[in-house]
Amino acid sequence: MTTKTNRRMRGAGVAAATAALALLLAGCAGAMPAATTTTAAPATDSTGAASTSPTPAAASAPTVRVPASCDELQPVPAGFTPVETPPTGDSPADYAAARAGVLQCAYTDAANVTLTFSVTPEVSDEDYSATADGVDFGPLPAAPTIGPDAREECPLSYRADLCQFIDLENGYGITATAYSGDQDTALPADVVDGFAAAVPQLVAAVTALGAPEPLWHPSGADIPGAVGCENLISDARLNEILGTTQASAFKTDDGEYARFPFRVSKQVGSEWCLWGSETDAGAGASVLPGGASYLPAAMAASERYEWQPAPDYPGEAYLATEDGSAQSTVNIAIENAWVQVSGPGEVLPALVDEVLGNVGAVGG
**Per-position DSSP letters for 237-260, written without gaps between them:** HHHHHHT-SS-EEEEESSGGG-SS
pLDDT band at 164 (very low <50, low <70, confident <90, very high): very high
pLDDT band at 42 (very low <50, low <70, confident <90, very high): very low
Contacts of 33 (CB under 8 A, 6+ apart): 63, 64, 66, 69, 70, 103
User: Is the pLDDT confidence value at 325 over 90?
Assistant: no
Structural domain contains residue 335: yes
Q: What domain range includes position 140?
A: 61-207
pLDDT band at 59 (very low <50, low <70, confident <90, very high): low
Of 157, 162, 152, the residue nearest 196 (C-alpha): 152
Q: Are 87 and 202 in a shared domain?
A: yes
- The dihedrals phi and psi of 263, each to the nearest 5 degrees, come to 50, 40
User: Is the pLDDT confidence value at 54 over 90?
Assistant: no
Q: Are 66 and 199 in a shared domain?
A: yes
Calpha distance 74→202 (Å, rounded): 6
Q: How many domains are there within the chain?
A: 2
Contact between 280 and 344 (Cβ < 8 Å) = no
User: Is the pLDDT confidence value at 341 over 90?
Assistant: yes
Calpha distance 220→283 (Å, rounded): 30
355: region left, alpha or beta (phi > 0 left; psi from -120 to 50 alpha): alpha
CATH number of the domain enclosing 315: 3.40.1000
Q: Are 102 and 146 in a shared domain?
A: yes
SS3 296: helix
Of 137, 65, 75, 128, the residue nearest 100 (C-alpha): 65
Of 138, 140, 130, 191, the residue nearest 161 (C-alpha): 191
User: Is the pLDDT confidence value at 322 over 60?
Assistant: yes
Helix-then-strand count for the chain, H and E: 8, 15
Q: Are 84 and 197 in a shared domain?
A: yes
Q: Are 120 and 250 in a shared domain?
A: no
Structural domain contains residue 7: no
User: pLDDT tens, 249-265?
Assistant: 999 988 888 899 999 99
Instruction: Give the helix/strand (H/E) hosting 331.
Output: strand 327-334
Q: Are 177 and 90 in a shared domain?
A: yes
155 vs 254 pLDDT, higher one: 155
- Compute the mean pLDDT over every residue in the chain, rounded to the nearest whole number: 84
Prior bond of 155 cis (ω within 30°): yes
User: pLDDT tens, 276-291?
Assistant: 977 667 899 999 999 9
pLDDT band at 27 (very low <50, low <70, confident <90, very high): very low
Q: Are 279 and 203 in a shared domain?
A: no
Calpha distance 169→304 (Å, rounded): 39
**Per-position DSSP letters for 82-139, written without gaps between them:** E-------SSGGGGHHHHTT-EEEEEE-TT--EEEEEEESS--HHHHHHHHTSTTTTT
Q: Are 291 and 238 in a shared domain?
A: yes
Calpha distance 336→325 (Å, rounded): 30
Contact between 149 and 132 (Cβ < 8 Å) = yes
Structural domain contains residue 2: no
> For the CA atoms of 314, 315, 321, 322, what is the dihedral angle to 10 degrees?
-140
Structural domain contains residue 220: no
SS3 40: strand
